[in-house]
Structure 1
Amino acid sequence: METVRVLELYSGIGGMHYALKESGIPFQVVAAIDINTTANQVYSHNFPNTPLWNKTIEGITLDDFNKLSFDMILMSPPCQPFTRIGLQGDIADPRTKSFLYILDLLPRLCRPPRFILLENVKGFESSTARERLVTTLKQCGYTYQEIMMSPTSVGIPNSRLRYYLIAKLSTEHFNTEISSEIPGASPHPAEDDSPAPSHPSNQDTCPPEDGVQGNLVLYKLETTIDAQRKMTQNKNQSVRQIQDFMGPKVEVNIDQYLLPPKTLLRYALLLDIVLPTCRRSVCFTKGYGRYVEGTGSVLQSCTDIEMESVFKDLEQSSEEEKLQQLSKLKLRYFTPREVANLMGFPQSFSFPEQVSTKQQYRVLGNSLNIEVVSRLLHLMVS
């Protein structure tokens, strides 16, 4: 096909750009737009030849957009107004202002884009913002599909359930339903993979295994259903193992990622712990490395120790004994490179030297899964 001219809104660290490259679609990003300083540093570092506008979207005129003459819009608007553990301000939240501005501009463009892809958190699908989006698309003559999808659908051992909408300017419907092309993708809102405010588990929902309940030993703050679900996920052969996404041991000093003693003592029962052979991990958020509950899994580096043996008598132990026991597991955070691997970023992706580890986790947590988006892009355009 001919080269597609792409406008990348809320461009972040370039997840959409990498997804385009992965999809095989011939493309040119005519402009990437974001106001996050750190994200823009990372984007420019990896795509130095792409025009990057450090502007608010609502500060860009209709004439400026028309001059770009783009065929496709890719966007991942701010998710905070729609997260279920937030205030859920929806369109009343000031952070939706730029998105509403885009919807206002779309019918007035001289040449509407042929394709639109939007990504957001679960919760967006029931928002007023979503209602306005689909109303605008219908008025402009688009057909569209909405999908709830997690990286586990494409064999990646990480839960990151997200809402996606793909639209094309056409009188014809999509030739193929996404859910029939990608097993696990849901055309309707799927069950939650994010934590309730006081619960440590944010897995994709899987049916419990029959007959395992009586054999489970619950040694952490999790329910029987939590434990059953994790067992089921780890037996899913369609999903790869964590170790396939881990960085070389010589790449960094892994000891710097070990959980500090205070964190082990205070949050041990809340940790979502995975082994290199696991086929599951929970969603990494921008708070990973700073906060514990619901921000992402931690890795058990010492695989010779049974986790159950460490936790079963932990509550009856003194603090010194607890620390001795927990330290045996050598629990550590995933490195930013490993998080990037699980989110589908290629090995060519890197961070500028001036971006701290904390900043790296933050911008990764705000990004998207490249493999999932690339599949959707390919199906949207093909």
Structure 2
Amino acid sequence: MARPLRVLELYSGIGGMHCGLTESGVAAEVVAAVDVNTIANEVYKYNFPYTPLWPKSIEGLSLKELDALSFDMILMSPPCQPFTRIGLQGDISDPRTKSFLYVLDVLPRLKKQPAYILLENVKGFETSEAREALIRTLEKGGYAYQEFLLSPTCLGIPNSRLRYFLIAKLQKEPFAFPTTSKILEEFPSQCPGSKRIIHCSESNPQARVEQKYSSCPLSGTDCDPEKTVLYKLETAVELQRKQTQDNDSSVRMLQDFLEGNVEEMSQYFLPPKSLLRYALILDIVKPTCRRSTCFTKGYGHYVEGTGSVLQTATDVEIDTVYKSLDLLTEEEKLAKLSSLKMRYFTPREISNLHGFPATFGFPEEVTKKQRYRLLGNSLNVHIVSCLISTLLQSP
């Protein structure tokens, strides 16, 4: 019987890669997890108490220490801030890229080259100089590789979280599918465990317009984008895109991922100040919807652009609440908006959408704000699992 794969988990965070490895069913052992985030490390230790966790910087790993681990696979999710589309895009000049460049420098100098590599990052990494440095290192080291841009919607999960992934293996062991220099936006058809093989790309939302009313509710029938009058700060094309997503029966409903202890949800309801200030930019979904926007690290603390909010009053139509909203007094506005009973998704619900198992949890001392921040920096476990299975599959 072959020995378990020895896996090095860099930038381990709260353990999303580790969960994906476990879900894949591959016989493997994480011989070391490395991260400098003290709160993330507490969560990691809570869930993986027997895994050696090194609370140190990547640059602090000596070549001798790495050689001693004799690992077969690297799983890593380097800092994404240097590559985000809304950030400064400092790329390799950003100090946060230093550790990743160190990994690329030390990789060819290892006594034993790891046979497998999986990397995750934000969309935008694929056009970076850091990515070019990665590809040069892989090609010089004799690796075959495949790049992807994938979102959980590919697997029927109602959450948009488009991310860059790369899988690589030493060329002596070919992939089970034909590789291409093109960045794939779908899983290979041979992907083990993939229930849905569909196109994964997500078009960027068009710029919002200052129109505020609509005769077409989110839950209504098809609308003509040229004729629709909007009640929120979104284009008619955006509205129609949301309706199309909600009508895609191959994606599960959000209700499958929600917690049942409704009586404990009061702390998650949007406060009056947020309702009044951000009413026109909220992305509102119902339990029966088949979509939600990407949850970021600011979710639960900031409102704009950080993730969807859940309308729990399912018997209230959103268009009746928003119609002529700006003609009302502040008190009347608040009464109408409150009737929707909108709340944030809980950390457990976001964990469910990310694919973390039911056994995954947080230490009690980790605050709600910290949980949102950690989850916003994490990844989708199911995608990682599928990619690991694809990486290790024989032709």
Shorter-chain TM-score: what band?
A: over 0.9
Report the Cα distance in structure 2 between the residues aligned to 1:87 and 1:192, rounded to whole angstroms: 22
- In structure 2, the residue matched to 1:26 is 27
- In structure 2, the residue matched to 1:184 is 198
- In structure 2, the residue matched to 1:203 is none
2:295 and 2:306 in contact (8 A); partners too: yes
Report the Cα distance in structure 2 between the residues aligned to 1:116 and 1:145, rounded to whole angstroms: 11
Which structure 2 residues correspond to residues 76-95 of structure 1 after superposition, within 5 A? 76-95=77-96
- In structure 2, the residue matched to 1:205 is none
Matched letter for residue 126 of structure 1: T
Matched letter for residue 313 of structure 1: S
Matched letter for residue 198 of structure 2: G
Matched letter for residue 55 of structure 1: K
**What is the CA distance between 1:332 and its match in structure 2?**
0.2
**What is the CA distance between 1:222 and its match in structure 2?**
0.5
**What is the CA distance between 1:163 and its match in structure 2?**
0.3
- In structure 2, the residue matched to 1:235 is 247
Q: Deviations over 1:98-123 (max 9, x none)?
A: 00000000100000101000000000
Report the Cα distance in structure 1 between the residues aligned to 2:331 and 2:223, rounded to whole angstroms: 38
Select which of 363, 373, 379 maps to 1:368: 379
The reply on whether 1:249 has 2:281 as its aligned counterpart is no
TM-score using structure 2 length: 0.90
Gap change, CA 1:211 and 1:314, over 3 Å in 2: closer
Gap change, CA 1:296 and 1:347, over 3 Å in 2: same
Report the Cα distance in structure 2 between the residues aligned to 1:162 and 1:115, rounded to whole angstroms: 20
Matched letter for residue 139 of structure 1: K
The reply on whether 1:165 has 2:166 as its aligned counterpart is yes
Report the Cα distance in structure 1 between the residues aligned to 2:297 and 2:209, rounded to whole angstroms: 18
Which blocks of at least 5 consecutive residues in structure 2 are unaligned? 179-186, 211-220
**What is the CA distance between 1:175 and its match in structure 2?**
2.1
- In structure 1, the residue matched to 2:280 is 269
1:155 and 1:238 in contact (8 A); partners too: yes
- Three-state SS of the structure 2 residue aligned to 1:270 is coil
- In structure 1, the residue matched to 2:181 is none
Report the Cα distance in structure 2 between the residues aligned to 1:325 and 1:152, rounded to whole angstroms: 32
**What is the CA distance between 1:236 and its match in structure 2?**
0.8
Q: Which runs of 4 or more aligned residues in structure 1 lie more than 4 Å from their structure 2 counterparts after TM superposition?
A: 190-199, 214-217
Matched letter for residue 23 of structure 1: S
**What is the CA distance between 1:317 and its match in structure 2?**
1.0
- Three-state SS of the structure 2 residue aligned to 1:81 is helix
1:161 and 1:192 in contact (8 A); partners too: no
- Three-state SS of the structure 1 residue aligned to 2:351 is helix
Q: Deviations over 1:66-102 (max 9, x none)?
A: 0000000000000000001000000000000000000
- In structure 2, the residue matched to 1:219 is 231
Gap change, CA 1:24 and 1:176, over 3 Å in 2: same
Which structure 2 residues correspond to residues 293-332 of structure 1 after superposition, within 5 A? 293-332=304-343
**What is the CA distance between 1:185 and its match in structure 2?**
5.3
- Three-state SS of the structure 1 residue aligned to 2:279 is helix
- In structure 1, the residue matched to 2:346 is 335
**What is the CA distance between 1:328 and its match in structure 2?**
0.1
**What is the CA distance between 1:179 and its match in structure 2?**
3.8
1:275 and 1:301 in contact (8 A); partners too: yes
Matched letter for residue 286 of structure 1: K
2:148 and 2:165 in contact (8 A); partners too: yes
- In structure 1, the residue matched to 2:108 is 107
- In structure 2, the residue matched to 1:352 is 363
**What is the CA distance between 1:2 and its match in structure 2?**
3.8
Report the Cα distance in structure 2 between the residues aligned to 1:212 and 1:47, rounded to whole angstroms: 52
Matched letter for residue 238 of structure 1: S
Gap change, CA 1:163 and 1:194, over 3 Å in 2: farther
- In structure 2, the residue matched to 1:40 is 41
**What is the CA distance between 1:184 and its match in structure 2?**
3.3
Which blocks of at least 5 consecutive residues in structure 1 are unaligned? 200-208
1:195 and 1:294 in contact (8 A); partners too: no
Report the Cα distance in structure 1 between the residues aligned to 2:209 and 2:68, rounded to whole angstroms: 49
- In structure 1, the residue matched to 2:12 is 11
For the aligned residues, what is the CA RMSD?
Answer: 2.0
Task: Report the number of matched residues.
Answer: 369
- In structure 1, the residue matched to 2:303 is 292
2:206 and 2:235 in contact (8 A); partners too: no
Matched letter for residue 184 of structure 1: I
Matched letter for residue 249 of structure 1: N
TM-score using structure 1 length: 0.93
Gap change, CA 1:216 and 1:242, over 3 Å in 2: farther
Report the Cα distance in structure 1 between the residues aligned to 2:137 and 2:199, rounded to whole angstroms: 25
- In structure 2, the residue matched to 1:381 is 392
Report the Cα distance in structure 2 between the residues aligned to 1:32 and 1:351, rounded to whole angstroms: 18
**What is the CA distance between 1:223 and its match in structure 2?**
0.2
The reply on whether 1:59 has 2:71 as its aligned counterpart is no
